[in-house]
Amino acid sequence: MSTTPYIFDTVSLLITHYNRTDSLKQLLESFDNLACHFNEIVVSDDCSNEYHQQQLAFLQAQFSFRLITTPFNKGLGNNINKGQDAVTSPYTLYIQEDFVPAAEFPLRLSKSLEMMEESTDLDIVRFYAYLRYPYLRPFKDGFSEMYVPGFAAYYHKIYYYSDHPHLRRSSFFAKFGRYAEGIKGDKTEYSMCISFLQNKGKGLFYDEYQSLFCQKNSENEPSTMTRSSLTTSNNLLVKIVRDVYRQIKYNYDILFLKQFDNSTNR
């Protein structure tokens, strides 16, 4: 257990949740064990089933978080939107419930907050990814600045933004718009990736990008995100066709895709 408390009184911890209260408990306990404390904790639940709603009540009594609910399942976009709407701090640490922070994370969060306060043009600091972002230039304290060159060849440039754990300004919607609602979760994330590039977002990427968080999915509480076999296939022909398609589509969407207007869904 950490002996040095970290008090982040300008940061709200926003956690999106759906039917994984064991994972949520593990995440909240991890922050307690790291003596990592926030101005508030907001848990946005997407109409979990009766069992998990009962567990949420127990966890709320234990960890004193604000629980934001909905009468029926509305998808990832709405879940993030209503959670972000409830945040009252200048900064938001966004994490989905199936992640667990490492012992070093509070220090890196502290450094991230300092950098965002010093550089007011920074919109986001990313702490985790499946793959290294392709365009980075060294910044400081183990972080690199993400950028997109004029003729960026890698379509992975789209992941300048990601739903994986990150720190952002709570005014995020004012610049990038709200999350698309009424569509699948991966398309919701993709839409925000496009908006982030179109609106010239700026952010940092932690160089050791899989050292600060571990994503844990158990048999009892598996990931709720599903993708088609064509998206994940390692067949060489499928991979070539998929890469060509993405290269064309992603670049087209960055130039021409209009974002969803969810301003009436508040």
The tokens describing 139, both together, are: 């910044």
Q: Is residue 127 part of a domain?
A: yes
Amino acid 266: pLDDT: 41
- 261, part of any domain: no
For 74-90, the pLDDT digits (tens) are 999 999 999 999 999 99
Instruction: Give the confidence band of 4 by pLDDT, cuts at 50, 70, 90.
Output: confident
CA atoms of 153 and 238, how far apart (whole Å)? 20
What the block records as the tokens of 95 is 């994490």
pLDDT in tens, 146-200: 999 877 777 788 999 999 999 999 999 999 999 999 999 999 999 999 999 999 9
**Those residues with Cβ within 8 angstroms of residue 51's Cβ, 6 or more apart along the chain or in another chain:** none
**Radius of gyration of the chain, Cα coordinates, nearest whole angstrom:** 18
The sign of the CA dihedral 53, 56, 61, 65 is: negative
Nearest-10 crossing angle of helices 50-63, 21-33: 10
Rounded Cα gap, residues 120 and 226, in angstroms: 36
Q: What is the dihedral of CA 93, 99, 102, 107, to 10 degrees?
A: 0
Asked whether residue 39 is assigned to any structural domain, the reply reads yes
247 residue type, one letter: Q
Residue 69 lies inside a defined structural domain of this protein: yes
Could you tell me if residue 4 is inside a domain? Answer: no
What's the pLDDT tens digit per position in 30-44? 999 999 999 999 999
How confident is the model over 87-121, as pLDDT tens digits? 999 999 999 999 999 999 999 999 999 999 999 99
Residue 142 pLDDT greater than 50, yes or no: yes
Domain harbouring 108, CATH code? 3.90.550.10
Coil vs helix vs strand at 191: helix
Residues with Cβ within 8 Å of residue 1, at least 6 apart in sequence = 33, 34, 35
Q: What are phi and psi of 72, to 5 degrees?
A: -150, 160
Contact 36, 6 (CB under 8 A): yes
Q: 3 in a domain, yes or no? A: no
State how many domains the chain has. Answer: 1
Instruction: Judge whether 227 lies within some domain.
Output: yes
Which residues, including other chains, have CB under 8 Å from residue 262's CB and lie 6 or more apart?
77, 81, 177, 178, 179, 180, 181
Q: Do residues 192 and 179 touch, judged by C-beta distance below 8 A?
A: yes
Range(s) of the domain holding residue 215: 9-256
Residues 6+ apart with CB under 8 A from 39: 8, 9, 10, 11, 12, 88, 89
Tokens of 188: 């919701």
Query: Do the strands 6-17 and 91-96 form a parallel or antiparallel pair, or are they unpaired?
Result: parallel
In a domain, 266, yes or no: no
